[in-house]
Amino acid sequence: MTRQGKLWFSLFLCGFFIGLLFFHMQNVKNDGPMPTGMEIKRYQVEAINKRRINETEFFEIIQTAHQLGTKITIKLQAKESLPVKDVLKAAFDRIHEIELMMSARRSDSILTQINATGKSKGYEIPAELGMIISKAGEYSRLTGGAFDISVGPILNLYRIAAQTKTSPSEQEIADTKQLVDYRNISLSEDLQSLTLANDSMALDLGAIAKGYAIDEAIAILGEHGVEHALIEAGGDIRVIGKRADGKKWSAGIQDPKGESGECIHILEISGRSVCTSGNYARGYWLGEKRVSHIVDPRTGKPCDQNPSVTVIAPDAITADVLATALSVLGRKGLEIIEKLEGVESFVLTVENGSLSHYSSSGFKQFLRD
């Protein structure tokens, strides 16, 4: 190789390694491991939709992205001076960070890496992930195991059964259920070391990560001075304040037996979160039978007795978790709701072949007149 060729080759190598270092710094945090040997897939956002709100100096700005396995929509109502693109990017970026930690569906997430690796001797995790796992344990104890993030093996059993168009046998359910127990999850005091009792256990944060991501995105909007906003993600909603025109935000409770958009109740909220969970929108087809995507961690069976549960709470993580728990517990779960300050619920349950309605004592205050 000529002298000039060696010089160009050296410059190429230098540029290559600088670029590699820059990529690493952009995609790896210092508070825990990121998946290795995998491409970090970025999310895609739709174009911003902007319109002036009648007779006000506010504009309504809407943008949507597909994250955490669902469509996430952020709606801002703000003055033109707000740096909208920067605010929305910061919120969606924060959701993306959480997805890369907590998604059980992404091949490049930390949680997927944990589930694929032996964990009986402990696994180093980010403190933020440890905090969510710890909080999940608190909700598991509160609900007597109706909410349990160790339900991953059971969910995987039904996903595989749906792909093969068969139903899992009673023995398969019983065997798999042995791997499900939140009490077999251990965290170190600093929340940065996770140990599971069995290497075949698998965690699924789907019923808590989405609510947490919404809360974190709401916090980002608040830090940027947003006073009127709504974030919706697959049945979970949280709002900041009221609408810019002074009216409360509205959210509908879908009729499980009605047409899409046909509602049983319209709720009016401000500064709160609403989560509706049910089997009418999602489920598994096991041969000719459709069953709920929500599974009772205690029995390993799908929860089809409660086709719709709505929880109103001060934050999305509480609403998200409790909506899942009450989809398992049904009207009995209202006893838990009555003990929690600022939390209300509405439950639709199947009794004698027809739907019955039950609600907590303070639920009616949120109904539109």
Domain ranges of the chain: 118-196
**Helix/strand/coil (H, E, C) string of 50-90?**
EEECCCCCEEEEEEEEEECCEEEEEEEEEECCCCHHHHHHH
Alpha-carbon gap, residue 340 to 320, rounded angstroms: 15
Which pLDDT band holds residue 94 (cuts at 50, 70, 90)? very high
Domain 118-196, CATH class in plain words = mainly alpha
Distance (Å) of CA 329 to CA 272, 303, 323: 23, 9, 10
Helix spans in 109-208 (H)? 110-115, 127-142, 152-164, 170-177
Distance CA 306, CA 326 (A): 8
Confidence of residue 10 (pLDDT cuts 50, 70, 90): low
pLDDT at 279: 73
Residue with the bigger pLDDT between 348 and 122: it is 348
Residue 122 in this model has a pLDDT that exceeds 90: no
Q: What percent of the chain has pLDDT over 90?
A: 70
What pLDDT does 280 receive? 64
**Tokens linked to 123:** 């696994």
d(CA 178, CA 197): 11
Residue 19 has pLDDT above 60, yes or no: no
Distance CA(228)–CA(226), nearest Å, equals 6
Angstrom distance (rounded) from CA 56 to CA 70: 32
Gap between the Cα atoms of 311 and 305, Å rounded: 17
Whose CA is closest to 88, among 98, 79, 75, 99? 75
Over range 240-261, report the average pLDDT.
Answer: 88
Question: Rounded to 5 degrees, what are φ and ψ at 32?
Answer: 165, 175
127-142 and 316-329 helices cross at what angle (nearest 10)? 40
Nearest to 103 by CA among 238, 24, 210, 218: 210
289-292/263-269 β-pairing: unpaired
Q: What is the pTM of this model?
A: 0.86
For residue 308, count other CB atoms closer than 10 A to its CB: 25
| Residue 97 burial by Cβ neighbours in a 10 Å radius (0-12, 13-18, 19+) | middle
Average of pLDDT values for 219-243?
A: 96
pLDDT at 257: 75
